[in-house]
Structure 1
Amino acid sequence: MSGSYTTVQGDTWDLIAYRKLGSTDYTDQLISANLEHVGKLLFPAGVTLRLPEIAEKPNANLPPWKR
Protein backbone atom coordinates (compact mmCIF):
# COMPACT_ATOMS: atom_id res chain seq x y z
CA MET A 1 0.00 0.00 0.00
CA SER A 2 1.43 3.35 -0.92
CA GLY A 3 -0.14 6.73 -1.26
CA SER A 4 -0.78 9.55 1.12
CA TYR A 5 -2.77 10.33 4.21
CA THR A 6 -3.92 13.69 5.56
CA THR A 7 -3.91 13.82 9.33
CA VAL A 8 -6.76 14.73 11.63
CA GLN A 9 -6.21 16.55 14.92
CA GLY A 10 -4.63 14.22 17.50
CA ASP A 11 -3.23 11.57 15.14
CA THR A 12 -0.05 9.84 16.29
CA TRP A 13 2.50 7.84 14.31
CA ASP A 14 1.40 4.49 15.70
CA LEU A 15 -2.29 5.25 15.28
CA ILE A 16 -1.75 6.15 11.61
CA ALA A 17 0.37 3.02 11.05
CA TYR A 18 -2.33 0.86 12.59
CA ARG A 19 -5.26 2.43 10.75
CA LYS A 20 -3.65 2.91 7.34
CA LEU A 21 -1.00 0.17 7.14
CA GLY A 22 -2.63 -2.49 9.28
CA SER A 23 -0.18 -2.73 12.17
CA THR A 24 1.80 -0.58 14.58
CA ASP A 25 4.79 -2.69 13.50
CA TYR A 26 5.01 -0.38 10.47
CA THR A 27 5.46 2.78 12.55
CA ASP A 28 9.21 2.93 11.87
CA GLN A 29 8.65 2.63 8.12
CA LEU A 30 6.01 5.36 8.24
CA ILE A 31 8.35 7.70 10.12
CA SER A 32 11.21 6.92 7.72
CA ALA A 33 9.00 7.88 4.79
CA ASN A 34 8.22 11.25 6.43
CA LEU A 35 11.46 12.41 8.07
CA GLU A 36 10.48 16.07 7.78
CA HIS A 37 7.88 15.40 10.50
CA VAL A 38 10.01 13.23 12.77
CA GLY A 39 9.77 15.66 15.72
CA LYS A 40 5.98 15.51 15.90
CA LEU A 41 4.27 13.36 18.50
CA LEU A 42 0.72 14.61 18.01
CA PHE A 43 -0.29 15.83 14.59
CA PRO A 44 -2.48 18.82 13.86
CA ALA A 45 -5.15 18.45 11.18
CA GLY A 46 -4.11 18.82 7.57
CA VAL A 47 -0.57 17.38 7.47
CA THR A 48 -0.08 15.18 4.39
CA LEU A 49 2.08 12.12 5.00
CA ARG A 50 3.45 9.63 2.51
CA LEU A 51 2.40 6.04 3.17
CA PRO A 52 5.31 3.66 2.52
CA GLU A 53 5.14 0.61 0.31
CA ILE A 54 5.10 -2.32 2.73
CA ALA A 55 7.45 -5.07 1.59
CA GLU A 56 7.19 -7.43 4.54
CA LYS A 57 4.61 -8.57 7.02
CA PRO A 58 5.00 -7.87 10.74
CA ASN A 59 6.98 -10.43 12.73
CA ALA A 60 4.52 -13.19 13.55
CA ASN A 61 6.91 -14.48 16.24
CA LEU A 62 6.08 -11.59 18.52
CA PRO A 63 3.76 -12.19 21.47
CA PRO A 64 0.11 -11.30 20.74
CA TRP A 65 0.19 -8.02 22.69
CA LYS A 66 3.03 -6.75 20.42
CA ARG A 67 1.52 -7.81 17.09
Structure 2
Amino acid sequence: MANGFIYETMAGDTFDSISLDFYDDEHYSSEIIQANLKYRKTIIFSGGESLLIPIIEDKTVSSLPPWKQG
Protein backbone atom coordinates (compact mmCIF):
# COMPACT_ATOMS: atom_id res chain seq x y z
CA MET A 1 0.00 0.00 0.00
CA ALA A 2 1.38 3.36 -1.00
CA ASN A 3 1.68 6.34 1.31
CA GLY A 4 -0.67 5.19 4.05
CA PHE A 5 -2.40 2.33 5.75
CA ILE A 6 -5.82 0.71 5.74
CA TYR A 7 -8.49 1.49 8.34
CA GLU A 8 -11.69 -0.50 8.62
CA THR A 9 -14.54 1.82 9.53
CA MET A 10 -16.93 1.33 12.41
CA ALA A 11 -20.64 2.14 12.30
CA GLY A 12 -21.12 5.87 12.81
CA ASP A 13 -17.68 6.94 11.60
CA THR A 14 -17.48 10.10 9.50
CA PHE A 15 -14.56 11.51 7.56
CA ASP A 16 -14.28 14.26 10.19
CA SER A 17 -14.21 11.83 13.11
CA ILE A 18 -11.66 9.59 11.38
CA SER A 19 -9.47 12.62 10.67
CA LEU A 20 -9.73 13.72 14.29
CA ASP A 21 -8.81 10.23 15.52
CA PHE A 22 -5.77 9.85 13.26
CA TYR A 23 -4.45 13.39 12.92
CA ASP A 24 -5.89 15.14 16.01
CA ASP A 25 -7.46 17.59 13.57
CA GLU A 26 -10.71 17.20 11.64
CA HIS A 27 -9.45 19.58 8.94
CA TYR A 28 -7.52 16.74 7.27
CA SER A 29 -10.74 14.95 6.30
CA SER A 30 -10.38 16.22 2.72
CA GLU A 31 -7.08 14.31 2.39
CA ILE A 32 -8.83 11.11 3.49
CA ILE A 33 -11.67 11.76 1.04
CA GLN A 34 -9.18 12.34 -1.82
CA ALA A 35 -7.51 9.01 -1.01
CA ASN A 36 -10.91 7.24 -1.03
CA LEU A 37 -12.96 8.81 -3.82
CA LYS A 38 -15.23 5.76 -3.96
CA TYR A 39 -16.73 6.92 -0.64
CA ARG A 40 -16.70 10.69 -1.29
CA LYS A 41 -20.49 10.96 -1.00
CA THR A 42 -20.67 8.95 2.24
CA ILE A 43 -21.76 11.02 5.22
CA ILE A 44 -21.87 8.32 7.91
CA PHE A 45 -20.20 4.95 7.42
CA SER A 46 -22.11 1.72 8.07
CA GLY A 47 -18.98 -0.04 9.27
CA GLY A 48 -16.67 -2.47 7.53
CA GLU A 49 -15.55 -0.18 4.69
CA SER A 50 -11.78 -0.22 4.13
CA LEU A 51 -10.27 3.24 3.79
CA LEU A 52 -6.75 4.28 2.90
CA ILE A 53 -5.49 6.69 5.56
CA PRO A 54 -2.76 8.75 3.91
CA ILE A 55 0.44 9.70 5.67
CA ILE A 56 0.47 13.48 5.94
CA GLU A 57 3.77 15.26 6.26
CA ASP A 58 4.01 17.84 9.03
CA LYS A 59 2.45 21.01 7.63
CA THR A 60 3.52 23.27 10.48
CA VAL A 61 3.65 26.83 9.30
CA SER A 62 6.46 28.89 10.74
CA SER A 63 5.96 32.50 11.68
CA LEU A 64 9.65 33.16 11.11
CA PRO A 65 10.74 34.99 7.97
CA PRO A 66 12.28 32.74 5.29
CA TRP A 67 15.87 33.75 6.05
CA LYS A 68 15.47 32.65 9.70
CA GLN A 69 13.81 29.30 8.99
CA GLY A 70 16.02 26.22 9.26
TM-score interval, normalised by the smaller of the two chains: 0.7 to 0.9
SS of residue matched to 2:32: helix
Q: Which has the higher contact order (CA 8 A, sep 6+)?
A: 1
Gaps of 5+ in 1: 61-67
1:16 pairs with 12, 15, 18, which one? 18
Aligned to 2:28: 26
- Structure 1 residue 55: Cα displacement: 2.1
2:37 equivalent among 18, 32, 35: 35
Which of structure 1's runs of 4+ aligned residues deviate more than 3 A? none
Read off the aligned partner of 1:45 and give its amino acid letter.
G
Other structure's SS at 1:51 match: strand
How does the TM-score come out when normalised to structure 2? 0.74
Q: Which amino acid aligns with 2:10?
A: V
The number of equivalent residue pairs is 61
Contact 1:23–1:58 under 8 Å retained in 2: no
RMSD over aligned CA atoms reads 2.2
Distance in 2 between residues matched to 1:59 and 1:42, nearest whole Å = 32
Residue 64 of structure 1: aligned partner: none
Question: SS of the residue aligned with 1:50?
Answer: strand
